[in-house]
């Protein structure tokens, strides 16, 4: 039975797609068959992040319109053999929670993890889709606006009945903490009110790698954080170490 994980945030641009790419990559490298489903209709990006922009033949739009079944529409990611990708359509396409549920059910015996990138902006459909996940990863940066939006989102999920949530604090740097934008990580956790699963440094190597569609280098501080979070998703205890620059 695969675990369905929705990666979401209140504010846009917090790093949801980067987190999906990093977790997908590290889970696959750890040997887990992983599928990334991108819901960023009209604004796909995971194809670029994995360097397969010109190799995508089908996307979620083909599945929603029943031109293809989900398994036939996924693309294999060459940089990680266990990793598959179901890209968002290039155009805006209507989608319901039931359709995403049906897609997940049709492929879940082939994958250990299905990670859903909810994309920018949130609407009631996305809320319903996210509700279906076994786990919601709420991504926030240390920016106070982002923290407040993450708290509001998390409260909404909680009120709708999904209590299985974890917080990822992304783009953490000494500069942000030094400028007293936030005093420390505990303050972010308290404000969002969700248990922490990992902290990802602001890491230029990750920006370059995802921009170029090449693997995140092994000496990248963010890759180490993605690797640790992936292990924690599987129930492994990995101590938290925060290395910022």
Ligand X SMILES: Nc1ncnc2c1ncn2[C@@H]1O[C@H](COP(=O)(O)OP(=O)(O)OP(=O)(O)O)[C@@H](O)[C@H]1O
Question: Cβ 14 to ligand X, closest distance in Å?
Answer: 4
Question: Cβ 170 to Mg ion, closest distance in Å?
Answer: 12
Q: How many helices (H) and strands (E) does the chain have?
A: 11, 8
Residue 26 binds ligand X (CB under 6 A): no
Contact 4, 136 (CB under 8 A): no
Residue number with CB closer to Mg ion (82 or 210):
210
| Among Mg ion, ligand X, none, residue 15 binds (CB under 5-8 Å by kind) | ligand X
Residue 8 binds ligand X (CB under 6 A): no
Which parts of 157-216 interact with ligand X (CB under 6 A)? 170-171, 200, 202-203, 206-207, 210
Provide the H-helix boundaries in 80-184.
97-107, 124-131, 144-159, 174-178
Residue 134 binds ligand X (CB under 6 A): no
Question: Cβ 40 to ligand X, closest distance in Å?
Answer: 6
Q: Which of 14, 26, 162, 165 binds ligand X (CB under 6 A)?
A: 14
Provide the H-helix boundaries in the chain.
16-29, 46-49, 60-64, 70-73, 97-107, 124-131, 144-159, 174-178, 185-192, 204-212, 221-233
Residue number with CB closer to ligand X (13 or 217):
13
Residue number with CB closer to ligand X (71 or 189):
189
Pairing mode of beta strands 165-172, 196-201: parallel
Could you tell me the two tokens for 36? Answer: 């990334």
Q: How many residues does the chain have?
A: 245
User: Which residues of this chain interact with ligand X, rule CB under 6 A?
Assistant: 9, 12-18, 40, 45, 119-120, 170-171, 200, 202-203, 206-207, 210, 222
């Amino acid at each position: 039975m695969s675990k369905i994980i929705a990666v979401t945030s209140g504010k846009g641009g917090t790093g949801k797609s980067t987190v999906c790419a990093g977790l997908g990559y590290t889970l696959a490298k750890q040997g887990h068959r992983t599928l990334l489903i991108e819901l960023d209709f009209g604004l796909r990006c995971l194809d670029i992040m994995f360097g397969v922009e010109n190799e995508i033949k089908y996307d979620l739009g083909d599945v929603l319109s029943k031109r293809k079944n989900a398994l036939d529409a996924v693309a294999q990611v060459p940089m990680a053999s266990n990793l598959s990708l179901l890209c968002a359509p290039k155009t805006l396409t209507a989608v319901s929670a039931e359709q995403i549920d049906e897609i997940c059910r049709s492929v879940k015996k082939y994958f250990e993890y299905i990670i859903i990138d909810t994309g920018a902006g949130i609407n009631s459909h996305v809320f319903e889709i996210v509700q279906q996940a076994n786990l919601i990863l709420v991504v926030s940066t240390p920016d106070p606006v982002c923290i407040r939006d993450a708290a509001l989102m998390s409260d909404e999920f909680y009120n709708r009945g999904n209590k299985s949530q974890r917080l990822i604090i992304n783009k953490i740097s000494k500069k942000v903490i030094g400028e007293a934008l936030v005093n420390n990580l505990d303050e972010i956790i308290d404000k969002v009110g969700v248990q922490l699963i990992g902290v990802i440094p602001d890491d230029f190597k990750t920006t370059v790698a995802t921009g170029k569609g090449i693997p995140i280098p092994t000496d990248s501080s963010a890759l180490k954080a993605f690797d640790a979070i992936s292990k924690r998703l599987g129930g492994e205890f990995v101590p938290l170490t925060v290395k910022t620059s």
